Structure 1
């Protein structure tokens, strides 16, 4: 009582420990009853370590759980493993039923044996273009769920908390066993083996792509050094990211116009050629082969994915300025997808903007009015009753007819716009000359079912 002031048992800790012991010793049943809380549990897992890894897994599996047992030189080794679609490793290890949170020689042996078994299988079975892929231990452990349990006479533990096995002779025993049993398992179970092999190859490609991304986005302190910025980028003069803007525009022609109209002190222009790659359907290594994506990564200067550093972002306004058409909307979607997948903080923290350039311009004398879209154009024409003028953005052949119809049928269109698309009505009148000789009531009778069908 003098040393341990609190002598009360924590039933959650006890329950977790009894569950572990039942997994590690599948032939026993542990009954746990806590009279304080009424807790009554029974632990028995015939599947042993296989059940353990299945219980640990919380993601879609790409290989089923399998377990192996063997012994050599008075050392008994049991382990089970499976793979899932995730990227992290979950490995638990035990020595004589005691958890070793800091690992040790048994974990090192298991990892070495697993790595060797998978790299050998890749060398023998991968496609020709993949056989030279260098696979590391980190690659083979991506998505790994495993438990290893060893029984060792007189084990030596290390560390202040004695949570690490230090017995050096255990490593080669576990390594040899893991390599041999896994190599045999891979040969006898090609479907499972190929799933694991492909997972490791994918991890290796991702690691190489991430390295390329790091190399690509590591910039010198002087951002104006020769070769650090994309050639197409018309950068701004300001080095203050909080006031700097970058406009992503469609093609060199739009880039030229934007450069003429910008304020070079704080506005940068980066032309993009065509539609960028859909990053939802491509691996990182292929994504980083895209010149347009590489140019954006380099221009932004903040890295991507795990390498992202918001403090290095060179512009606090990233403005997507595409044409007001279907292609422009598609480019917007592709860019936003790229930002969301690889530069999510710039989206979440409000650095990304969509420009909305007008589709039409009305000009009469020195007066200029910009109209966002066709709806705004129709509203403007109906409200002002313009008979003639100069518009940019609408076909010249239709312009006179368009304006006459708007002028002559203003009251009808005003009535229609309360319930329907005015543009559909105007389009109908342009295409059907004979309808214009009818009265408003007749036109309305013809138009009503047509407009209702269009919603």
Structure 2
């Protein structure tokens, strides 16, 4: 702030509103940590995006400097520099020092914009130790500088810093002309240093968040080119080794956005629905005398929706108002979900006989949202948000507009007589009905979750050899390959806490099968019933009957295939079991080597788990001059082991080795499962051919 000896009425007029921002920044940016720091940057970026939305710009550059400052450049019209008649100040000073001032009030410049409270630039200025702005307009380059919201001049020349001498302007001063701009070139460049007195010491700009936001915006504003440059050299960032630059530009709009967000195999193509609706809204208006009165204003709301269903059950819904994300939803998402449920209920009921949909059956919201990836955008002037952070849309009339647009378009699509669209609609309705049946089935399964005593009846599969313990955390369920292995495992297990469920052959590949096929498959249904926590969206990890599920298959290629099929089932329909680290793969040995000890000393038995390990052991024994019995026993399957051998090597917690299955990168895991187990054969063939050169023939167990 200015020192006491030059503090004047000029400072009072400038800082009148901005002092409140500095005293209570959380009211304007949510918090003073990294989240609040990023919110300030969004405010500046969104102003540039609004110019592009209005058709006045095509590129935005964001630069993160090593000194902690950030610069946002655009090729929009440039902030006005002429005198604003009411205040007698330049437009540039008004924008950066006056709250609720700018082109977004009065409806003259922006019909629909992101920063609607008009406090964005001025709040960022108030919370900055220094802010420099340059504007290209009319063949000239204008500049202004501010310290903590106050206009003035810094004394540094050349390389700019935040902690240098500053002289505040004693009177209203026009922006300084610092150069010439090329004919027809316009734009704005804003560089600021966040104030260390306001933000916490650990507050940092997140390149990942910036990257996600830039990509998202490039989808929402087709043709807009956003360039990010990170010069900070921070560890664990793409620019750790030197300046890093990325460019984002997408011309396909939100249809391309849905394609980017979709991870699973498609059930439908990407559907694009657009429409608009009008409504009346009562708003306060201030007349020329400064008096407020209520006026009835007609608003137009434009709706744009892109959506597709996949074979999975996760829902991804991104909603936006004037390209500003609303992660907590609002009236537009409520209207979207209502129309979706109403339309699908109507169309499913009209096809009830073909879909085997009973009169007592009823679709719920979760059934129609399963596997849906959608992007919903609405554009309207002066939307009502809950708070400056704009996370929830509050305009009540938008719900009805979105609902009408989507319901009409979806009914037309689902009732289409075109062959391809009709087939898609039938597949979608079948998926939705299957989701409903899965939910009902899961509820029925929960009735058998409680452990039964010997005197109680149980509807669990007959082939399940359950354990006696009722402690979920201690109990283990072994999924055993084949009846021959079951016989050995039955003798090797500890019946107190180890349960066995034998699997007959290779189970269904659920990556390619429908939900109804999965539920009707005996092996899949038995596993879901025995684990007892449901499946898909209705899976409840707290209801699982076992603390560990252990996949125990033979140590050959068939065993590896069965293990992959089982993991596909868990990943697709019981994913929380993997996410919570409760799925394991047993590691049975490949060889049993009996080392001959001299004299009466008992021979030593060593198990090896790979050809390489066996070769190393035999080489070591030969070097030491020790002998071993030949031939070396090679286990082709679990059934070849004696019970004590299986217990010692694979089942006894004191000696066994288990591999925990986890998901470090869900997107990568989804791509791998789709590659190895999905319906598209060509990528899998290419994968096999590409890896054929690296395969050693000796490793094939044939």
> Would the TM-score normalized by the shorter structure come out above 0.5?
yes
* 1:5 correspondence with 2:21: yes
- Tell whether 2:416 aligns with 1:213: no
Is 1:80 equivalent to 2:304 in the alignment? yes
Structure 2: 5+ residue runs without aligned partners? 1-15, 30-39, 59-75, 80-120, 122-130, 136-186, 190-216, 225-250, 281-297, 597-601, 637-695
- 1:295 is aligned to 526
Q: Match of 2:627?
A: 384
2:469 maps to 238
Secondary structure of the 1:143 match is: strand
Give me the whole-angstrom Cα distance separating, in 1, the residues matched to 2:78 and 2:417. Answer: 41
2:275 aligned with 1:68: yes
Please tell me whether the aligned partners of residues 276 and 335 of structure 1 are also in contact (alpha carbons under 8 angstroms). yes
- Residue by residue over 1:416-445, the C-alpha shift from the partner in whole angstroms, topping out at 9 and shown as x without a partner, is xxxxxxxxxxxxxxxxxxxxxxxxxxxxxx
Seen in structure 2, the aligned counterparts of structure 1 residues 219 and 276 have a Cα distance that, compared at 3 Å, is same
1:321, distance to aligned residue in structure 2 (A): 3.0
Among 49, 59, 84, which residue is 1:19 paired with?
Answer: 49
- Note the C-alpha offset of 1:277: 1.8
CA shift in 2, pair 1:55/1:27, >3 Å? farther
CA distance in 1, matches of 2:485, 2:475: 20
Distance 1:230 1:177 in 2: 49
Match of 1:36 among 96, 112, 132: 132
Give me the whole-angstrom Cα distance separating, in 2, the residues matched to 1:346 and 1:181.
39
Distance, in Å, in 1 between the alignment partners of 2:408 and 2:379 is 17
Q: Give the paired residue count.
A: 387
| Aligned with residue 146 of structure 1, among 355, 369, 376 | 376
User: Using a 3 Å threshold, how does the CA distance of structure 1 residues 221 and 37 change in structure 2: closer, same or farther?
Assistant: farther
| 1:188–1:266 distance in 2 versus 1, CA, 3 Å | closer
8 Å CA contact 1:84–1:145 kept in 2: the answer is no
2:498 counterpart of 1:254: no
Q: Does structure 2 retain, via aligned residues, the 8 Å contact 1:213–1:288?
A: no
Could you tell me which residue of structure 2 aligns to residue 263 of structure 1? Answer: 494
Query: 1:279 aligned to 2:279?
Result: no
How far apart are residue 356 of structure 1 and its match? 1.0
Would you say the 8 A contact 1:63–1:196 is kept in 2? no
The answer on whether the counterparts of 1:301 and 1:314 sit within 8 Å (CA) in structure 2 is yes
Answer yes or no: is the 8 Å Cα contact 1:238–1:244 preserved in 2: yes
Deviation sequence 1:179-216 (CA, Å, 0-9, x none): 44555577498756765664464344234324423432
Contact 2:590–2:635 under 8 Å retained in 1? no
In structure 2, relative to structure 1, the CA distance for the partners of 1:171 and 1:116 (3 Å cut) is same
**Structure 1, gaps ≥5 residues long:** 395-451
Aligned mates of 1:293, 1:185 — CA distance in 2? 34
User: C-alpha separation between the residues in 2 aligned to 1:114 and 1:270?
Assistant: 41
Displacement of 1:131:
8.1
Deviation digits for residues 348-368 of structure 1 (CA, Å, limit 9, x no counterpart): 62651314156669899x979
In structure 2, the CA distance between the partners of 1:16 and 1:254, relative to structure 1 (3 Å rule), is same
In 2, Cα distance between the equivalents of 1:386 and 1:111? 70
Distance 2:477 2:333 in 1: 50
Q: Classify the secondary structure of the residue corresponding to 1:146.
A: strand
Per-residue CA deviation, residues 361-412 of structure 1 (Å, 9 max, x unaligned), is: 9899x9795866896599599963758x998979xxxxxxxxxxxxxxxxxx
**For 1:339, what is the secondary structure of its paired residue?**
helix
Q: 2:588 aligns with which of 356, 360, 371?
A: 356
2:520 alignment partner, SS class: coil
Contact 1:245 1:268 (C-alpha < 8 Å) held by counterparts: yes
340-349 vs 236-245, which moves further = 340-349
- Show the counterpart of 1:408: none
Does the CA contact (< 8 Å) of 1:118 and 1:197 recur in 2?
no
Cα shift readout 1:164-189 (whole Å, capped 9, x = no counterpart): 2345xx86676555544555577498
CA distance in 1, matches of 2:509, 2:610: 29
CA contact (8 A) 1:92 1:101 kept: no
Does 1:229 find its partner at 2:460?
yes
Q: Per the alignment, in what secondary structure is the counterpart of residue 281 of structure 1?
A: coil
Give the Cα separation in 2 of the matches to 1:45 and 1:371.
62
SS in 1 for 2:270: strand
Deviation of 1:222 after TM superposition, in Å, equals 4.3
